Amino acid sequence: MLALAGRPLGISCEFLAEEPTLTCEDLGKLTLFSKDRETSVIEFAERVDVITFESENIDPLLLRGVPSHKIAPALKALATARDRLNEKEICKKLGIQTAPYFSVSTPSELIDGINEVGFPCILKTRTMGYDGKGQWRLNSFEDAHAASQALDWLSMRYILEGVVPFQREVSIIGVRDRNGMTETYRLTENKHKAGILRKSQVRIEDEQQGPAEEIFAKIAGELAYVGVLAIELFESDSKLIANEIAPRVHNSGHWTIEGATTSQFENHLRAICGMPLGSCASRGASTMLNIIGNPLDQDYVLGLRGAHLHDYRKSPRPGRKLGHVTVLDIDTEDYASTIESIEQRIIDV
């Protein structure tokens, strides 16, 4: 989606990936990591003007041989946002509320953590977790004991978080350019199931827009961030509590392709390439539904007025995001019923 957004701006993309992927093969040259991963990155960097990433599950050490002006966002942002403990510490420093947390590296620290944050709590791997993977919800010492037996205490470090009794989950996505100018999109309300994002909705008005923008400005400024940044938040008793910082374009911002003046993908490219930012204004209310596990009948979706289909050309697998559909209220007179009928057709696994 980044590469597609680059085409009209004359930006061409190359990709460095772990394995062959159909998603980008006809959008630019695809290079696979060689055994010497660091050298693959250095050789790649020599051919391109700027390197960015679309996942934070990347070891910053891999990029240490690349001149820093060629990497955006900077490695500091990657190092902060790929580690849940660093994310929490930066929020604490900036006076942004988070769930109560405790760093856990040994079974006895797990018990100390439970005594500190109490039940119910969630044990998470500090790095490499996504879509609810690497998380264990603990309601009792029996749960903690069972989780403890299954954990990789030698090579993984964990964080224990108190469960936040939230009323809704939202995300604030914005972009910061090389001169420190920022723009933010409308706040997105997100629905998850089994830790995976199912639905993102944008309203025209949201009373948490201002407070969320303040949180965005603090974090983006602290990280001297360049590019698109997403911050996932819980709303609990009208207060915003930071959950996760994603140093990249974000699934809950996919609605911006049709629903905003400039998509998150285009704005990310504009920021990292030193171009002026585009407006983040939204065109109205919009809803994005993820297609997970099972493909959705293409003709059915295209037959619905105003439904925008994005097929990632990924092979079906339980829990895998295969595509998404966005519906804008300005495109159809049947906004609510169109969303409902797509939701009913999505058989997710």
Shortest distance, position 282 Cβ to ligand AMP, whole Å: 22
Q: Which is nearer to ligand AMP, 164 or 217 (CB)?
A: 164
| Size, binding site for ligand AMP by CB under 6 A | 13
Q: Which is nearer to ligand AMP, 233 or 277 (CB)?
A: 233
What is the largest distance, in Å, between two alpha-carbon atoms of the chain?
58
- Site membership for ligand AMP, residue 100 (CB under 6 A): no
Per CB under 6 A, which of residues 229..288 are in contact with ligand AMP? 232, 243-244
Residue in 83, 98, 96 with CA at minimum distance from that of residue 161: 98
Shortest distance, position 338 Cβ to ligand AMP, whole Å: 25
DSSP 8-state code for residue 259: H
Could you count the other beta carbons within 10 Å of the beta carbon of residue 116? 14
Is residue 249 within 8 A of residue 264, CB to CB? The reply is yes
- Site membership for ligand AMP, residue 163 (CB under 6 A): yes
Up-side HSE of residue 295: CA atoms within 13 Å toward CB? 11
Per CB under 6 A, which of residues 116..155 are in contact with ligand AMP? 122, 129, 132
Q: Looking at 32-40, 157-165, 267-275, 335-343, which segment touches ligand AMP (CB under 6 A)?
A: 157-165
Query: Which residue is associated with the tokens 């057709």?
Result: 345
DSSP 8-state code for residue 48: -
Q: Which is nearer to ligand AMP, 122 or 288 (CB)?
A: 122
- Site membership for ligand AMP, residue 319 (CB under 6 A): no
Shortest distance, position 163 Cβ to ligand AMP, whole Å: 4
Is residue 56 within 8 A of residue 79, CB to CB? The reply is no
What does the block give as tokens for 84?
């849940």
Shortest distance, position 321 Cβ to ligand AMP, whole Å: 14
Is residue 200 within 8 A of residue 186, CB to CB? The reply is no
| CA distance linking residue 292 with residue 192, whole number of Å | 12
- Site membership for ligand AMP, residue 331 (CB under 6 A): no
- Cα–Cα–Cα angle for 60, 25, 255, rounded to 5 degrees: 75
Shortest distance, position 241 Cβ to ligand AMP, whole Å: 8
Per CB under 6 A, which of residues 176..195 are in contact with ligand AMP? 192, 195
Positions that interact with ligand AMP (CB under 6 A): 99, 122, 129, 132, 161, 163-164, 169, 192, 195, 232, 243-244
